[in-house]
A and B are shown apart, each in its own frame.
Chain A
């Protein structure tokens, strides 16, 4: 659900670097949380830094709450310190020489709030984060999760119109990440400005954001809500991210002709260019060609076997390249080994097609 009607951030970010260029359009509404998702090198950090003012645009514009922050064409550039933007950095960057309280009070103080008042505001924020007892501690005495919350409090203390988070959970261990993610979700939805999270973790993106923007190589390749993107990925990257086998081809009725000759039978009747996808769990392996309900079958060669959670993920090569998730029991029964020839089958009902 995108409420594009009341955007407070309106950006067309165009940045040219040596060997790379970024060109994306972003719109975030008041109170909305948008995730910018993509692989490393996609340009996510460049976009974040451009929005923060740490790097100027080459072209395009950034408008926030009616004020133009950056517009090269009209020679307009508002420096970092004057932007109503708050940033939570990947490594938090809490000032080591200041206490937690003074770290959070830093922003308000620099914007003119007198010392006592700023400290009171900071104390209130720490209270909200459940860190009131840590006010006097130095950053090096905080755990990863605590530091993350302080960094968030510090950024929120300046009441930013736009809150930027750079890989907010990347520095945390798995257990802390789960707890912190839930808390972060709560704080972000309490924040009434616009929020942009930059991340490479789809789970973070899906859990924290209302709207996902996927970028690869400096361009947007897909955007929408978590459900749509998960169900209907449009690039290999996203497919891999959400754990689907993805193919593109021309569909006539329920048959999708893939480049290379193979044809998939899908559950939807469509015409024209389509994506076809099925999850690894839908793939069954057999020693001989199976028959039964309409299904896609092919003879594959096993190229890799890895643990994947409680199951085994089998990489298959053949007329199509796909991954299959098999239980260890089934694998043992089939006596699977790399290089082995095996029959793979996917039910047509589990093969989804959607327009490209």
Chain B
């Protein structure tokens, strides 16, 4: 780049702006993307437009809202932790080992995705209910019942949200380079040490992304929760249940509740930094 010739007082004319061919997004991609975004965002816009802004502050102070919100956040987080505890090893099994029937197992993992949530709730009752396969034993041996309890909510939410975590983590594990694990072994790391010190840190962003999906799904879960855990304020009435019940009598109240849930979850999700949840 030549220096401007200041001695003659002349300033060089600015170079013609370079056309950055790469920064132009092809229309064939942009158009469907915008339509897709609109499709997702317009219903939210509808909610916001119909919000009773005039009475909003008074509605926000109604009792029960904070309880339902707090319960929702609590159970979704617990459900996510539960999913991670069991889902990460399951994902590892699916990604790193080869056993007969692996494809079947992977298909089974996706069952909660296809099952209507209410059916999932009924299935959970049949297993963990008072007369359920496992539930009856739990009650007889330990006096533990799961339906109509907060623990039941966590269980129902974990059931529907686990596939998201398992699939995301399995994908991340498959993408990760297994040779690092060999290197760790040559340095003397046992299989467990390799898993905790090398594999997990390498796929941590993938796990985080899966956990975020899992948490979001758990937060919004309705059908399985109300069927398995029932509906009782403070114990099992999560925000989605509160919304649905509010719809019975007061559509405006339902909208307000939905908006609160949306605002809280969008804030939390937006606060997650890209680099924490970007795929490796």
Contact = CB atoms under 8 A, between A and B. Distances in A.
Interface in B52-97: none
Interface string B172-207: 000001011011111111100100011001101000
A346 interface: no
Contact of A80 (B179, B185, B197): B185
Contact of B179 (A79, A93, A154): A93
State the main secondary structure of chain B at its contact with A. Answer: helix
A110 B180 contact: no
Given A97-B201, A97-B202, A110-B193, A81 B188 contact: yes
Size category of the binding interface on chain A: 20 to 34
Contacts of A154: 187
A107 B201 contact: no
Given A89-B179, A93-B179, A95-B180, A110 B187 contact: yes
A89 B202 contact: no
Contact of B187 (A79, A96, A97, A106): A106
A52 interface: yes
A31 to B, nearest CB: 21
B186 A80 contact: yes
Nearest to B183: A93
A91 B177 CA distance: 12
A83 B189 CA distance: 11
B176 to A, nearest CB: 10
Contacts of A87: 183, 186
Given A54-B182, A93-B180, A107 B187 contact: yes
Contacts of A93: 177, 179-180, 182-183
B157 to A, nearest CB: 31
A164 to B, nearest CB: 8
A158 interface: yes
Nearest to B186: A87
Nearest to B193: A110
Contact of A96 (B179, B188, B202): B202
A110 B189 CA distance: 5
B184 A106 contact: yes
B193 A86 contact: no
A214 B187 CA distance: 28
A154 B277 CA distance: 30
A52 B186 contact: yes
B155 to A, nearest CB: 34
B183 A81 contact: no
B198 A158 contact: no
Nearest to A92: B183
B45 to A, nearest CB: 41
B179 A111 contact: no
B190 A81 contact: yes
Interface of B: 177, 179-180, 182-190, 193, 197-198, 201-202, 204
Top 5 closest pairs, chain A to chain B, by CB: A107-B187, A80-B185, A93-B183, A110-B188, A87-B186
Given A89-B183, A91-B179, 18 more contacts: A80-B182, A80-B186, A81-B187, A81-B189, A82-B188, A85-B186, A86-B187, A87-B183, A93-B177, A97-B202, A97-B204, A106-B184, A106-B187, A110-B188, A110-B190, A110-B193, A110-B197, A158-B188
